[in-house]
Every structure is written in C-alpha cells, then in structure tokens.
Chains A and B, each alone.
Chain A
C-alpha cells in the first residue's frame, strides 16, 4: 500500500511539468491554429535558462525567483520567434507553419549546444526541500510533494486568466472565430503574440520546475514532444482540464509501468492513447476540430498532367545519366548517389501522401524504419537472403501502414498528424526497449548484401532500378483513377463521397502504398549501410522527409524527388560543420518565408518569367 501511494505521488509530481508544457501547446494551438513543434525546445530552453539563473541567484528565494524569471525569459524568446518566424506564415497552410517551427527546433538545439555545451547538467536541489518524507514507510521526495501542491495553483491561475479576464475572453473568442474578433476592433497580431508568450512561458516554467528531478540535456526537446502530444490528444486539444487529467494519467501510468512492466514504459502511454481515441476520437474533454488547409493554399493547384513526350525524354535522359555514375564518378560518389536515391524514394512516398492525399503525416519514419527493421530482423533472425528481405520490407511496412492508417485515418488535421507522430514514437520505443530482438540502442549490424551485389556499383544499380521503379509506380498511381479519387477526397470529402468515392478506403489505400514504398526505401537502406539503428524511426527522420517534400514543393509532382536530392546533398556537406543544425534551421526558416513555393515551384516560376516555360492558361 505504501509503495502504491508513493508511486501515485511520484506520478502526480511528474504530471506538473507535463501539464504546464502541454497546456501551453494547447493554448497556442487554440488561438493561432499552429501546432508549435518547437514547444519541446522552449521546455528545454526553460531547463537551461533555469539552471543558469539558479547558479546566480542564491537561496530559496533565488530558486523560486529563478523559475519565475525563466518563464518570463522563455516567453520573451517565444515572442521573438512568433514575430520573426510565424507572423509571415499565419496565412500559409499547416505544413509551412510546421516546417517553420521545425527550423526553430534546429536553431534552438544548436544555440543550446553553443551556450551550455554538450554535457548533461544536473539540476540543483530546491533549497529547503532536500531529502524525503516517509509516507507509510516509503520515501517520497519533499520536492515532489511541493510540485503536487504547486501544480493545481498554476492550473487555477491559468483557469482564472482564461475564464475571468478580458484577455482570456478574447483568447476564447479568437479560438472560435479569429476574423470576427478582428472585425470587432481587436488587434489579432498582439493577441497572437500574447498567447505565444503565455504558451512559451508555460513551457519554460515546466522546464525549470523539473530541474531538481531531471536536470537539463539536449535531448529533452524531442523526448517531451511525444509526451505532450499524447497528453494533448488524450485530454482534447484546447481543453485545460483535459490537459491536466491526461498529464496525470500519463505520468501515473508511467511510474507504475516502470515498476511493473519495465519493458514497456514508453509503449504504455501510446496504448492508452490509442484506447482513448478509439472511444473518444477528440480526446477526453475535447471537441471536434475543423480541419485546416492541409496542402498549400494561395494559387490554385495546377492540373497534374501525365508527362508529355518532352518531359519523358528529359526524365529518361536523367536516368541514363544516373546510370553512368558508377562508370565515371569516384566510388564515394556512387555511394552518396545511392543514399540520395533511397532518400528520394522515401521522400516521394511521403509526397504522394501529403501532396496528393492532403494527409500530413508526421510519422512517416515509422514505415521507413519499419521496412528497414523488417529486412534487418529477417536477416538477423531467419538468415533470409537479401532478395527475400527486400521483397518483404515493403510488405511489412505496408502491413504496418494498414494498421496504423486504420486508426489514424479516423481523425483529421492536427489530430491525424499528432497521432501519426505518436505511432512512430511508439514503434521507436518498441524497437528501443525490446533489446533481445531488435538489439535496442545497439541496433542490428552486419547486414550486407550477398556477394553478387556486394560491390558498390552493383548495389547502386539495384537501388537505381528499385527506387526509380518505386517512384514511377507512385507517379503512375497518381495518374490512375485511384490518384484522382485521392485528390478528390483531399479537396472535398463531401463532394467526393457524393460521387460515390469511399474516401476513407482511398486514403487508407494511399497510406498503405506510401508506407510500402517508404518500407522499400528502408529495406534498401539497411543493405546500403550494413546496419540499422533505432534512430531510423526517430522524429527527426520523419521531419527530414517532411522538410524535403516542403523544400521540393508540395504542389509539384517532382517535388519530393528534387527536394530529396537537394536535401541529401546539402546535408552531406552541412553535417561536416559543427553547427550544421543552426545553418539548416536558418535555411529552412528562410525558405519558408522567402520561397514558399519550394524549389520546383520557384524554378518553374522563374522559367516562366524568363519565357522558357509556358505559363498555364488563365482559367477565369
């Protein structure tokens, strides 16, 4: 009994920071409709800033003062980010905002590395709250009890702000109808900035408050991201009581999981989420969200036509040129181009889902990694030959996509996006924690192609055939009736259904196809590298693909491929620098703001301006 209560208390204490961070995310989303992916970064920043301040400010007063001050400082950083990065993209589609906030993640990561160095920092103990209290014989840290006491006050203060003040009324009104709030004379820009300040300050507070328990390290941002998504999804987007409830639920479950099911602590959270969503698709206390614009708004999409003779010729010439690479280029270039090919297939599969299907998946790495692990596990445990492994990799990933898609496609918009991310994290946790089978963090190594394909040249041709084949298959599907149905479902679900299209089935099929192609890329990847590690399933992998699709341009069919090629090459160069994340992050932000049509879109526009390409006829 004592142990049970002690664990319950630990769970409640952990819920404090989680609630603060999650409610910040929820608030920001409610008003600005932006899913702030950088929210974990503000949490991390809170931990670091708090750490520094606690070193400077003495005593108990200094400790708590440092926490409050941290909230304000992180809130102000949030204001800078909002004004510089987000203001230009409020009217842009979700994907832009998402990619922009991802750029912010990278920038903050490297800034933290620059300022605080790579080593983990041990948080200071709270003055006056060191040591433990014995409850029914079990030790409970005093600081935990303090947190349990404080969190309801934070929640109450937040509730009061939202329910009782003019600012809160405006925030709630804006959550429902921003335009009307503007027409009534409220300057929305400042309302947005204010909400962003509040949300980021809460994230910062969360980071600072957990210092005595968790310290500060550079992985905090991604580590908390999945948890806060889970909390927000379980609790219901935009609901503060829901966030509190879910934070408690998740934290308590975690603590009990560690004791009773140590193999599954990470997995447990996702299982609970999946269960909640099956019963209440919009979370415990949430309400149905109106889905935002998933693709690119602004100029209407150009009709996607089957390639003309000239384009076919250019593509064929390009492939022929690629085929010459091993003959004329040095071996390292052959390997690099192989990597690029694989990545292009991965990106093209996401592009298919996103561009044509309008399904913004944040967890596409699940299928890349899924395919990679399918192949690697087959080789490692069943000694299967490469040929069979490469055949089963897309099938395995496709099957996975069928399962995940079945659950995720019940939701739309941000919920869909967050759910896909959560599933990718679930898979990652499975692989990470199930060390006996998957090798855990050590990965699976020594998985090389058989002798006939072991030279980099032969493997290059194998990759060329499979990747080009896969990309052409995706293209083919885009032009088939299936592709039209998919786009119809994206543009207007209701209209599509009225014409007899089963939109859910079409989207499910697309999800599975995209998953299978990503799996094929993953399978090839394993044999190209000779190994696979859990990081192929990480959030960053999913984001790599998203960024590539975005860079290439969502509205253009070749966007995924071109973006993939550019990204892999640039990354190859960039990663040689120490602060490549900073450079990449700033580049991404610049592209979002300056060239929102992506590389292909911008080039095409340039071509039209120079008279090299014909502009589409005006449809008016």
Chain B
C-alpha cells in the first residue's frame, strides 16, 4: 500500500534521511522505532510531502506521490496526525473535526462525528469546548479523530503515546487496535516499545536517517542483542 523508496530528505542543508526505504502492506500496523532524532518524524513528514524528499520516491497504492502538495496527498487517502497534535486552539472540538472532514471515499470506512465520539468517548463530553482547553490526552484523541474525518485508508501517527497519562495510553492503544480491526492501515512512530508491541506486529527501526531493521517483533525478539543495540536509550 505504501512504499518509501530510497528517499533523501533535508532541512536546509542538514541531510536527515539517507536512502531510507520502508513499506507497509494493506491492513498492517507498523511501528517506526528509533532513538530521539533518528528521523521518525521526518519520515512521516516526507511521506506526507510536508518535507519534500530531494530524491527517491514515495508510492501510495502504486502511484508516485512525491512532490505533491500535502492536501492532494491527504485527499489520496493518507491521514497524518502530527507529533505536536496541532489542534486549532480557537476552534471547538466539533469545528476541529469539521476542518478534517472530506467527502466519502470508495473502499474506506466513512467516519461521522458520532462514530468518532464512540471511538473516543472522552471527546463526546467536550464537543463544545475549545481545542486549547483540552488536556494533552484529549488533544491527542481529537487530533486522531480530526484526521479520521478525512476517511483515510492509511494513517500516519506520530508518537500517539507521547506525554499522555498511562490510563489514557491504554485507551489510545485500544482505539488503534479497533481501527486496525476495521481494516485501517497504520504507520506509527513510537518511543514507547510497550505501546508499540501492544498495537503492532511489525517494526521498522531507524537510526540516523536510515532503516536498520524491518520485520516482525517476533524476529526482532529472537536477537535481543541486536534489538537493544538500536533501541536502548
């Protein structure tokens, strides 16, 4: 479904992603792992074309989307949930959802506000509150819900568990599993290995902008030395 092929991404002159490749097949939940600064966020932004790779290709459902404006990528069915959530603070919860709304797309689930409030019951009570008045966890849920309003077929989640209370993390994990069971493809970046295992079966490990490992968690655990070399902090 999603193929990243040898991309090189830069911030100005800083070369951040080096010939990075990864792929995600339909229905998979893949965890993008790596230390701070490994390039996880940049990878997701490069897929979304918020950072345009200088070379290499990003293919989505077989189409080369490299260099597309971000709104076109979104309309093709890629949903992006940024690391810092980027809720519209002045807008109410309902209005935030409205910004994300896109027409129904063939082949993917069509989300309604009510369905999202079922997925994230906490949001339902706060629907008239302004974005900036929500807690960190609620903002994270809102950010995901807002992106789901675009009815994506593949979701890019940047550190959904970051800075959230443990209880809420469990809710979040349950929600992601629920999404997976509904057939949504997910690529999520994580620092929290425990969380990543709970929701995904596949891992991609990044280090300094290149892929070090790509495969199942089971295979990764078979070589603990290798695993800890790349993941221990």
- Could you list which residues of chain A lie within 8 angstroms of chain B, going by C-beta atoms? 166, 169-170, 172-173, 175-177, 179-188, 300, 619-620
Contacts and interface: CB of A to CB of B under 8 A. Distances in A.
B100 interface: yes
Given A180-B82, A180-B86, A619-B13, A185 B69 contact: no
Contacts of B102: 184-185
Given A185-B74, A186-B99, A173 B91 contact: yes
Contacts of A185: 71, 74-75, 100, 102, 150
Contacts of B13: 619-620
Contact of A184 (B90, B95, B146): B146
Nearest to B15: A620
B88 A188 contact: no
A184 B74 contact: yes
Size category of the binding interface on chain B: 20 to 34
Interface in B44-98: 48, 50, 69-71, 74-75, 80, 82, 86, 88-91, 95-96, 98
B50 A170 contact: no
B130 to A, nearest CB: 11
29 contacts: A166-B98, A166-B101, A169-B91, A169-B95, A172-B88, A172-B91, A173-B88, A173-B91, A173-B99, A176-B88, A176-B89, A177-B88, A179-B50, A182-B69, A182-B70, A182-B71, A183-B48, A183-B70, A184-B80, A184-B99, A184-B100, A184-B102, A185-B71, A185-B74, A185-B75, A185-B100, A188-B71, A300-B12, A619-B13
Q: Is the interface of A mostly helix, strand, loop or mixed?
A: helix
B108 to A, nearest CB: 13
A180 B102 CA distance: 14
Contact of B70 (A177, A179, A300): A179
B80 A183 contact: yes
A169 B70 contact: no
A620 B11 CA distance: 12
B90 A176 contact: yes
Contact of B82 (A172, A176, A183, A620): A183
Given A172-B95, A177-B86, A184-B150, 7 more contacts: A169-B95, A169-B98, A176-B89, A177-B88, A182-B71, A184-B147, A185-B150
Nearest to B96: A173
A169 B89 contact: no
Ordered nearest first, which 9 A-B pairs have the shortest CB separation?
Answer: A185-B74, A620-B13, A180-B86, A182-B70, A173-B99, A173-B88, A182-B71, A184-B100, A183-B70
A619 B14 CA distance: 11
B173 to A, nearest CB: 24
A184 B80 CA distance: 7
A619 B99 CA distance: 41
Contacts of B75: 185
Contacts of B90: 172, 175-176
